[in-house]
Chain A
């Protein structure tokens, strides 16, 4: 099916390596906030990348809202910065399109040269606009820096801007060289691209999204090694603190006791989950004993519904049933005649068991489905043979059904072991209140409260990072065990 139309066009093909590599560097300049070419303003947030500068007005002005509201700085000055950044980003996108086109045959390559010219011209124009904006900010500073107490323009233009200019010029020159040196395509040649590249380009948007949302966040791990202070500026090497935060986790007594408490909660909750993971299997085995199809169907529908509601709704339900005026208190009042208004949700006794029960209420019916399917896959002849041998109901369950389900169960168990640190935070977040918080804070929730709640970005990054590393290791270990024992991998 694949059509091979790749023909070498002599030494000029080598030039594409240069253009593609410089495009790659230009992309780095778009995404990474430390090397933002648009950082010509001192009051700019340190998390701003070129892309953010181009897109988000709100985030540029976050530190200078007062000055803008009082017309010391005009909105149009900020728009000028945004426009310059946007032109640069657009230029780089055009260059990326050109790079894609250049994967085609000679005629497409010629087209891509023109597109490259346009894209690099746009980037160069963006750089020029950026320099103009910097001048503008200098002029503003001359007027108002006394009044507002800070300088708007940076001392020097950012190095990244010149890097960007350099890459754009390289692209431009390469395109010019190619236009001169490349052989002309045959007159009747049509625009074509080999199948393998065509397919790749079709998949590229999705690969790009994956990169942006799954790989790019890994760059945030750098916060684990820096002293992050909120406010303008970038994380410079002066802020580099090495393993300070890692040490703090171990050395600081308060931190240590916190971590021990959180780990205890996490492991107890996961451990209880593991210890009761057989319940779903038992559910399936006993449900399959019920021969009335309609009843079985109804039970299955009703017991799987809770799996599809969010934890917030589970909490709403818990609230309806167990609050001081909820169902349970109403019933107790009615039965005993004495007013009951116990608030069960703030009661800290047996919290772990309660959380486990909520988890089971939500999940058991759903987890059982896979075992129910497993049971229907067991050979009926085995049961007949067992009946002939005089096995009773329970003996058949124990000696025929259970062994048939054990392989599935072991996979589930291994996956659960690998996920022992990830209980998810929704459940614990919604159920925690002032009284229950310390016992409900699992690792995921702790990372959230530490990072988003109290703004300790580096510490929370360190913990999250360690968690990920341990989880991935556990997963590969579980996979290794599975391969060793069952000869099959689970991931």
Chain B
């Protein structure tokens, strides 16, 4: 419910009043110890959760030699955007970007439309054998044929090494359909009935009435869907083995990260000093590039998440109600 202007002003005044006339609670010694401890623990945990991202960031904007010397720990040294430019020069990365962004946008849009429409249809008890078909959909959440049968199925459908392999299997998400269905059921049925009496068809009602009214839930599933697509990694690893052009950003990052550990293994096995130096040099510039790729991959989530947090929370609550 949106608040009117007057209500907003009232609330503001109320809050100001409470701030002024805060009840003075006397803190005992034990309370103080508890609060200090509590704030400290949570503050520390929050830092542990966030510092790695910050560390990654300052390393990507610092001079690579400084990074290699381990000097960059709390603030950037020798600020530069060179690494981001270098990264753009890595040809296949741009492609991976396009693949990942496009699959996120297209896949999410299709998933949301499908969930909305299918969720709406599943509220209609007059559908032929509705109960059976609803169960047919929902039960798929609880079993999984397994990795290899799933893979051979994709092979059979010709969706391996195929861009559509990212999109089509992710269109129907039973869990999201349940969420939408539950939400639509909470909309007063009278609205729909009156539209029916006015002669609207199902499609019309869906477009003009249900779709606008269920925006909040659609936003929630859209965000979850988008994060899922953006982060999705195993489908690229399993289904796109033979087509590097179709691999996602996450997959590329994985490949890059793994290259380093190979180099690390090479060093372990004893080589001539000059060879090791060459490899180490390679590693030095490579590390920053790796950080940069990781930073670019994580950035959209870091930027979007804080503003969308309420939708995320709503999502988990709805999921808990109808898990």
In the complex, per-residue mask of A191-228: 1 if CB is within 8 Å of any chain B CB, else 0: 00001111110110011011011111111110100000
Chain A residues in 8 Å Cβ range of B294: 313, 316-317, 320
Report if B79 contacts A (CB, 8 A): no
> Do A295 and B52 touch across chains, with their CB atoms under 8 A apart?
no
> A8-16, A18-26, A67-75, A322-330: which lies at the B interface?
A322-330
Judge whether A2 and B152 touch: CB under 8 Å: no
Q: B28-80: which have CB < 8 Å to A?
A: 31, 34-35, 38-39, 41-43, 45-50, 52-53, 55-56, 59, 67-68, 70-71, 73
Q: Most chain-A CB neighbours within 10 Å: which of B126, B148, B158, B177?
A: B148
Instruction: Tell me the dominant secondary structure on chain A's binding face.
Output: helix
Which B residues are CB-close (under 8 A) to A221?
145-146, 149
B149: contacting residue among A55, A220, A286, A321, CB under 8 A: A220
CB–CB A197/B128 < 8 A: yes
Partner of A312, one of B70, B151, B233, B316: B233
Given contacts A303-B46, A305-B49, A373-B317, contact A464 B149 (CB under 8 A): yes
Q: Which of A121-129, A161-169, A181-189, A445-453 contacts B (4 or more CB under 8 A)?
A: A445-453
Interchain pairs with CB closer than 8 A, number: 283
State the Cβ distance, A298 to closest chain B Cβ, in Å: 7
A277 in the interface, Cβ–Cβ < 8 Å? no
Q: Is the CB of A210 within 8 A of B42?
A: no
Give the complex CA separation of A333 and B265 in angstroms: 23
Interface contact A305-B50, CB-CB below 8 Å: yes
Contact A345 B153, CB 8 Å, known A210-B140, A311-B233, A468-B145: no
Q: What is the minimal beta-carbon distance from B37 to any residue of chain A, in angstroms? A: 9
Q: B169 near A: Cβ within 8 Å? A: yes
- Closest residue to B127 on the A side, CB-wise? A199
- The number of chain B residues touching the other chain, given as a range, is 35 or more
Nearest Cβ on chain A to B208's Cβ, whole angstroms = 16
Complex interface: stretch among B86-94, B211-219, B306-314: B306-314
Q: Mark B282-308, 1 if CB is under 8 A from A, else 0.
A: 000001001101100110011001100
CB distance from A22 to the nearest CB of B (A): 21
C-alpha gap A472/B140 in the complex (Å): 11
B155 on the A face (CB < 8 A)? yes
A465: nearest chain-B partner, CB-CB: B146
**B45 proximity list for chain A (CB < 8 A):** 299, 303, 365
Which stretch of B6-14, B101-109, B129-137 is in the interface?
Answer: B129-137
Query: Does B174 have its Cβ within 8 Å of any Cβ on chain A?
Result: yes
Q: Please, which residues of chain A bring their CB within 8 A of the CB of B70?
A: 325, 329-330, 333
Can you name 11 extra interface pairs (CB under 8 A) apart from A304-B309, A316-B291, A317-B294? A52-B158, A56-B158, A206-B117, A215-B140, A220-B148, A223-B152, A306-B49, A319-B290, A321-B52, A451-B147, A460-B148
- Hey, which bits of chain B sit against chain A, CB under 8 A? 31, 34-35, 38-39, 41-43, 45-50, 52-53, 55-56, 59, 67-68, 70-71, 73, 114, 117-118, 121-122, 124, 126-130, 133, 136-137, 140, 142-153, 155-158, 161-162, 168-169, 171-172, 174, 177, 193, 196, 202, 227, 230-234, 237-238, 241, 250-251, 253-254, 257, 260-261, 264-265, 287, 290-291, 293-294, 297-298, 301-302, 305-306, 309, 312-313, 316-317, 320, 323
| A–B Cβ pairs within 8 angstroms, 27 of them | A2-B126, A48-B156, A51-B157, A52-B155, A196-B126, A197-B128, A218-B149, A220-B145, A289-B34, A299-B42, A299-B43, A303-B45, A306-B49, A310-B233, A316-B290, A317-B53, A320-B56, A327-B55, A330-B70, A333-B70, A361-B48, A369-B313, A444-B147, A447-B148, A448-B238, A460-B147, A468-B143
Interface residues of A (CB under 8 A from B): 1-2, 31, 33, 47-49, 51-52, 55-56, 58-59, 195-200, 202-203, 206-207, 209-210, 212-221, 223, 286-287, 289-290, 295, 298-306, 308-313, 315-317, 319-321, 323-325, 327, 329-331, 333-334, 343, 345-346, 361, 365-366, 369-370, 373, 393, 408, 411, 415, 425-426, 429-430, 433-434, 444, 447-448, 451-452, 457, 460-461, 464-465, 467-468, 471-472, 475, 490-491
The 4 A-B pairs of least Cβ separation, nearest first, read A220-B149, A464-B146, A217-B145, A316-B294
